[in-house]
Every structure is written in C-alpha cells, then in structure tokens.
Structure 1
C-alpha cells in the first residue's frame, strides 16, 4: 500500500475542514484554499514521480494555482480598501 498518500490526504481534509468551519474572515478562507491546492499539487507530483509519469501536469496545475492565489489576494486588497476589514459578516448582499 502507498503510505505516502496518508499525509497529503490528511492535509487536504484538514484544509477542507478549516475552510468549511472558519468562514468569518476572507484571509483564513484563502489560506485554507491554498493548503488544499498545495496538498493536491504534492499528491499529483508524488503520484507522477512514483509511477514514472510526466511531471508537466503538475507544472500546469501549479501555474493555475498561482493565478488563483493572485486573484484571491487582489480580491482581499479590494475588500479591505472598500470596507476596511476582511470580515464576511459585514456584507448585506452575501448573507
């Protein structure tokens, strides 16, 4: 059995639990999404290296996750500039 998968699945599910339980602040949600993205990247990378597959898929995934992180940070900056904080409960339109 492949025991290298266990830490990555634990990291993935802990990121999902934090994302689903801590939805008060936008920054915490972005950080938990990045934990999920990094755990999936490491899982893809080790899967490709163990089974002697191409690592090009992991590079494409990493570049898309960097774009997602930059978009999240730009939304966070816009949110703080317009509303003054990153608390999601201050919006009347979302809840």
Structure 2
C-alpha cells in the first residue's frame, strides 16, 4: 500500500507542514493490526510511503528515541514525542493549533 504524505503546504525551508491531527491520521493508516499503536515496521512503512530513505534504520532510531515506556511501540501518549522526532529528522514541521 503506497500513499503519499499529504500535507497542507511546504514551509520556506522546504519542510512539509501538517497539523498534529493530520500527522496522527497519517500514522493511523499504517496501523496494520489496528491495535492503536505504531510498531517499528509500521513506522518504517509510513516513512517509506512518504518517500523517506533508510526507513528501517530511521524507524528503529525513532522507536528508541520516543518510546517513553520502553514497550517497543508508539502509542497515543508518545505521539507528541514522535512528532518532535519527525521535525528533527524527517523534514516535517508539525503545526499545533
């Protein structure tokens, strides 16, 4: 399943801009087992679908960096951490409003 990362616009520095709700909806499309959490493989698929390089490596790094409870998944409580990671490492700007 390949789908483009749809965003509101691009900022002056070339980053894709999306609201936090758009970011959550995008990730939800890759929650293959519908458990409400994003696994490393599901995150890799999301990064790959958005045209990201080294998706497996980036998803592994993201899980390690933002998984506050150490269970190996990104859940609703950790989405903000993932959004911050995406801004730093995945050329995305998350808009909070």
Q: Normalized against structure 1, the TM-score is what?
A: 0.29
Q: Normalized against structure 2, the TM-score is what?
A: 0.29
Between Structure 1 and Structure 2, whose CA radius of gyration is higher?
Answer: 1
Greater fraction of residues in helix: 1
Greater fraction of residues in strand: 2
